[in-house]
Chains A and B, each alone.
Chain A
Amino acid sequence: MGRVRASWRVAGAVGLLAVAPLALAARAGAGPRPIYQTTRHDAGTPNSDVVVRHHGVVTSYGDSAITYSAPPATLKALGYALYLENCATCHGTQANGVPVAGTTGAYPNLVGLGPATIDFWIESGRMPATDPRSVEAPRRPPRLTHHQALAIAAWINSLDPSYPGIPTVHLRGGNVATGMALFALNCAACHTIEGDGDALARSTFAPSLRHIPATQVAEAIRTGPGNMPRFTGNLSDYQVRDIVKYVTTEIQHPRNPGGFGLGGLGPVGEGFVALLVGVAGLALIAFWVGERQ
């Protein structure tokens, strides 16, 4: 996103302030142990009774709306090479969040995060990060291919197999109506009901959902990137599928039967049009037909 970069420095400066306490904490707990573990994605399973595992990795939460698959283990070696090249400076050679010597800062431990998390952060372009102090690494065009992301996820997963795996959403049977209701209940409070995203407290932002592919939407719901909550137990795969379907259809391709959508800015945009086109336009016409002395 262009505008993200434009004000990146401001966000960076505030980000620095926010990360400073973390860095201090990191000093205090010096040693080989992991610096911080954000989320270990093996707690709790969704509403379904059956959890299908394959070689210890959950392939399904028991219903057929989404298939979770572990990245092929054969890519492990390639993944390790790519990891050392792109990630090890910050996340450490063992992916445990201890950066290589000479790198300062605090980095999350990646072991046990599950392939979906790794895949999401790489494929959304957030990783490899450019700014080591970032609190909310921005979405960017991905720098690694899908194949490379799978490979890195395969290697990290081999350290401690965990889930969720990389989801494939079977959108066919999805129901947009329930999707909309669930979206209003679970997501609109941050991403807005039209999915445009908005500024949250301090320098954090709920991003726009207008251009996120289905897989990443499902990954975000199941893994909860950054400041977003992770939805596991309270949403079944059917429900996640409905949300993904709603996001990728109605939100990403809104039908605007009423004419131009006015950028989804709601009453802000409408107010500008009413005042600038309506009132000012009519006043100009009055100016034109009336006498001006």
Chain B
Amino acid sequence: MSDVSPSGAARPHGRGRYGRVSQAVTELDERLGVARGARTFLDKIFPDHWSFMLGEIVLYSFVVLLATGVFLSLYYVPSSTVVTYHGSYLPLDGMPMSQAYASTVDLSFAVRAGLLMRQMHHWAADIFIGSMVVHMARVFFTGAFRKPRELNWTIGVTLLTLAIVNGFLGYSLPDDLVSGTGIRIAYSILLSVPLVGTYLAFWVFGGNFPGTVVLERFFILHVLVVPLVMLGLVGAHLALLVRQKHTQFPGEGRTEENVVGTPMFPVFMAKTTGFLLVVTGVIALLGGFAQINPIWQFGPYEASRISYAVQPDWYMAFLDGALRIFPSWSFHSFGHTIPLEVTIPAVVLPGLLFGLAYAWPALERRVTHDDAIHHLLDRPSARPRRTAAGVAVLALLAMLFVASSTDVIANFFHLSLNTVLWAMRVLVLISPFVAYPIAYAIAREMHALHGAGKRKTPNVVTRSAEGTYEATPAPAFVDDVAEELAPAPVPTFIEEEGPAVAPRPSRGTRAVDR
């Protein structure tokens, strides 16, 4: 807070050290009292470890998604009304198709930069969810979800669920042959929910498949409802992050009571803006050079048509894999049929997996009886059971993911499709049980090994004239000079005339009390 109180004190003359900026900021503070909030914000400390930037990839691909999505929504027409295409793509000329498909083809070929925007949007979605999973894995394996951050973990799992749902909705919008098949599968999955399935499916689709309203509904969910909820949750996720402050890896000068890192302004802000541009750049390069989802090659969806070898986007693949390998069991009784072959892999399995993710912090506490507040992270090797459990679930997911390409594998290696199917059934079932002990053993070994995973400093061995040897540790690397690791305290007031505290260390590392 500045010394100038809003309550009537005369404004000091002159413009201060930062000229007009100072003046403008002072004026604003006098009216809104923003200085205190801004101070906390600008002095928020971010740990420097690279793994903390994984979440930034998620955030920035979300930004790209929103920006490109707004562009797409200006041209896309969410309607299953049949029109005759007479656009610039000749191989479809004169064909009947839904307005949704026609507008997506036009958006790709007739709108300037339309194809680039579409491809960027799709790549951004794939990267968004991918980096979300990686970020989540980081949080999981380092125990960052422990008290007091369980709520933020829950928000994160919800965001992942919503992202997958919205990815599927978006994938469905072009109404091409492949995505139409995806909607058809979703319809069957809804139908397979015991007892209420038929009502549920009719409620969502406004009647039987394919109906005429599903694209409109998916559209409004995809562009408004789900993103709005996600935006709110992202806001809450970040607000909690500021409120609770970051976790950090244990290390010199880092305790449960402080956070060591770079302040928001100026260092982190520069770094993260650069990273925003990098993420955008990578997505733009992919969007410009790597073709994704060439819907014009698939043609419009018609319920009578089907293509072999259709796969969903990668984040839905584990569901597809489960559906593929599950044996054809079903249950008939009391005039009802429950298609277990769909219900179990497509309803029960994801329910269990996400339920486990939600419940994990509570489950772990129940086992460890650890009720303490944690700000220092675990090294994954220090918690072999948690690490092994995480690896087991990831192995299961990875195998389900592979199972979604049984046909591609069979075709590529010229094997019998049935053999591949059976092999995948076995692999999926055994993968968690094989992965757990291996991960456990590795974690135990790494933990027991002193200094594993740490950078070693060389010893310099000298021989004296008498012939005795002496080993002295070499000087530290230029990078890790001791001074850098000793953080300077964060000032608690605005100093217009320059910092009153000791000069900041080279990389601007600071520490703040919690």
Chain A residues within 8 Å of B, Cβ to Cβ: 3-4, 6-8, 10-11, 14, 176-177, 180-181, 184-185, 188-194, 196-203, 205-206, 246, 250, 254, 256-262, 265-268, 270-271, 273-275, 277-279, 281-283, 285-293
Give the chain A neighbours of B417 by CB distance below 8 A.
Answer: 199-203
Question: A286 contacts B54, CB within 8 Å?
Answer: yes
Given contacts A192-B309, A198-B308, contact A3 B56 (CB under 8 A): no
A4, A181, A201, A277: most-surrounded residue (chain B CB, <10 A)? A181
Query: B453-470 interface mask toward A, CB cutoff 8 Å, 1 = contact, 0 = none?
Result: 011000000000000000
**B contacts with A, residue count (CB < 8 A):** 77
CB-nearest residue of chain B relative to A15? B416
**Any A CB within 8 A of the CB of B313:** yes
Cβ contact of B414, chosen from A6, A262, A279, A292, cutoff 8 A: A6
Give the chain A neighbours of B293 by CB distance below 8 A.
Answer: 267, 270
B52, B91, B93, B115: most-surrounded residue (chain A CB, <10 A)? B91
Give the chain A neighbours of B365 by CB distance below 8 A.
Answer: none
Given contacts A258-B119, A278-B126, A286-B53, contact A206 B308 (CB under 8 A): yes
Give the chain A neighbours of B78 by CB distance below 8 A.
Answer: none
Query: B295-307 interface mask toward A, CB cutoff 8 Å, 1 = contact, 0 = none?
Result: 0011100101111
Give the chain A neighbours of B274 by CB distance below 8 A.
Answer: 289
Given contacts A188-B306, A282-B282, contact A193 B289 (CB under 8 A): no
Given contacts A3-B412, A257-B115, A266-B310, contact A274 B53 (CB under 8 A): no
CB-nearest residue of chain A relative to B182? A267
Q: Give the docked Cα–Cα distance between A33 and B8 (Å).
A: 116
Question: B286 contacts A277, CB within 8 Å?
Answer: yes
Shortest distance between the CB of A94 and any CB in chain B (Å): 35
Question: B95 contacts A266, CB within 8 Å?
Answer: no
Given contacts A193-B307, A198-B309, A270-B313, contact A10 B177 (CB under 8 A): no
Cβ contact of A189, chosen from B109, B130, B306, cutoff 8 A: B306
Cβ contact of A274, chosen from B130, B275, B304, B410, cutoff 8 A: B130
Shortest distance between the CB of A45 and any CB in chain B (Å): 25
Q: Give the docked Cα–Cα distance between A274 and B285 (Å).
A: 12
Give the chain A neighbours of B494 by CB distance below 8 A.
Answer: none
Question: B414 contacts A4, CB within 8 Å?
Answer: yes
Give the chain A neighbours of B134 by CB distance below 8 A.
Answer: 279, 283
Question: B412 contacts A282, CB within 8 Å?
Answer: no
CB-nearest residue of chain A relative to B410? A199
Shortest distance between the CB of B248 and any CB in chain A (Å): 11
Q: Give the docked Cα–Cα distance between A291 and B53 (Å).
A: 10
Grouping DSSP codes into helix (H, G, I), strand (E, B) and loop, the B interface class, with mixed when no group exceeds half, is helix
Give the chain A neighbours of B279 by CB distance below 8 A.
Answer: 282
Give the chain A neighbours of B416 by CB distance below 8 A.
Answer: 10-11, 14, 199, 202-203
Cβ contact of B119, chosen from A180, A259, A292, cutoff 8 A: A259
Give the chain A neighbours of B119 by CB distance below 8 A.
Answer: 258-259
User: 14 more A-B contacts (CB under 8 A) besides A275-B314, A279-B131?
Assistant: A7-B415, A184-B177, A184-B307, A193-B307, A193-B310, A200-B417, A201-B418, A260-B289, A266-B178, A282-B127, A282-B278, A286-B50, A286-B53, A292-B455
Q: Give the docked Cα–Cα distance between A201 and B57 (Å).
A: 42
- Give me the 6 closest cross-chain CB pairs, A-B, nearest first: A290-B50, A271-B314, A258-B291, A274-B126, A199-B410, A7-B414
**Any A CB within 8 A of the CB of B405:** yes
Question: A271 contacts B131, CB within 8 Å?
Answer: no
Give the chain B neighbours of A6 by CB distance below 8 A.
Answer: 413-414
Q: Give the docked Cα–Cα distance between A11 and B420 (Å).
A: 13
6 A–B contact pairs at CB < 8 A? A177-B93, A177-B94, A180-B92, A287-B50, A288-B50, A292-B49
Given contacts A259-B289, A274-B126, contact A291 B408 (CB under 8 A): no
Cβ contact of B299, chosen from A193, A271, A278, cutoff 8 A: A193
CB-nearest residue of chain A relative to B294? A258
Shortest distance between the CB of A90 and any CB in chain B (Å): 23
Question: B309 contacts A266, CB within 8 Å?
Answer: yes
Shortest distance between the CB of B486 and any CB in chain A (Å): 15
Give the chain A neighbours of B108 by CB distance below 8 A.
Answer: 257-258
List residues of B (47-68) whose CB comes within 8 Å of A's CBs: 48-54, 56-57
Contact count A vs B, C-beta below 8 Å: 214
Q: Give the docked Cα–Cα distance between A14 and B293 (Å).
A: 35
Give the chain B neighbours of A7 by CB distance below 8 A.
Answer: 413-415
**Any A CB within 8 A of the CB of B271:** yes
Question: B130 contacts A278, CB within 8 Å?
Answer: yes
List residues of B (83-126) whose CB comes within 8 Å of A's CBs: 90-95, 108-109, 115, 119, 122-123, 126
Question: B91 contacts A192, CB within 8 Å?
Answer: no
Give the chain B neighbours of A3 by CB distance below 8 A.
Answer: 412-414
Q: Give the docked Cα–Cα distance between A185 and B95 (Å).
A: 14
A14, A191, A260, A293: most-surrounded residue (chain B CB, <10 A)? A293
Question: A256 contacts B49, CB within 8 Å?
Answer: no
Q: Give the docked Cα–Cα distance between A193 and B308 (Å).
A: 7
List residues of B (173-190) whose CB comes within 8 Å of A's CBs: 177-178
Give the chain B neighbours of A254 by CB distance below 8 A.
Answer: 294, 297
CB-nearest residue of chain B relative to A194? B297
Question: B282 contacts A257, CB within 8 Å?
Answer: no
Q: Give the docked Cα–Cα distance between A191 and B304 (Å).
A: 16
Question: B307 contacts A205, CB within 8 Å?
Answer: no
Q: Give the docked Cα–Cα distance between A291 and B57 (Å).
A: 16
B93, B122, B131: most-surrounded residue (chain A CB, <10 A)? B131
Given contacts A177-B93, A193-B177, contact A260 B290 (CB under 8 A): yes
Give the chain B neighbours of A8 by CB distance below 8 A.
Answer: 414
Shortest distance between the CB of A188 and any CB in chain B (Å): 4
Question: A177 contacts B305, CB within 8 Å?
Answer: no
Q: Give the docked Cα–Cα distance between A173 and B29 (Å).
A: 76
Q: Give the docked Cα–Cα distance between A83 and B350 (Å).
A: 60
Question: A259 contacts B290, CB within 8 Å?
Answer: yes
Cβ contact of B130, chosen from A188, A275, A286, cutoff 8 A: A275
List residues of B (266-287) whose CB comes within 8 Å of A's CBs: 271, 274-275, 278-279, 282-283, 286
**Any A CB within 8 A of the CB of B411:** yes
A177, A256, A278, A281: most-surrounded residue (chain B CB, <10 A)? A278
List residues of B (124-159) whose CB comes within 8 Å of A's CBs: 126-127, 130-131, 134
Q: Give the docked Cα–Cα distance between A190 and B9 (Å).
A: 82
Question: A177 contacts B92, CB within 8 Å?
Answer: yes
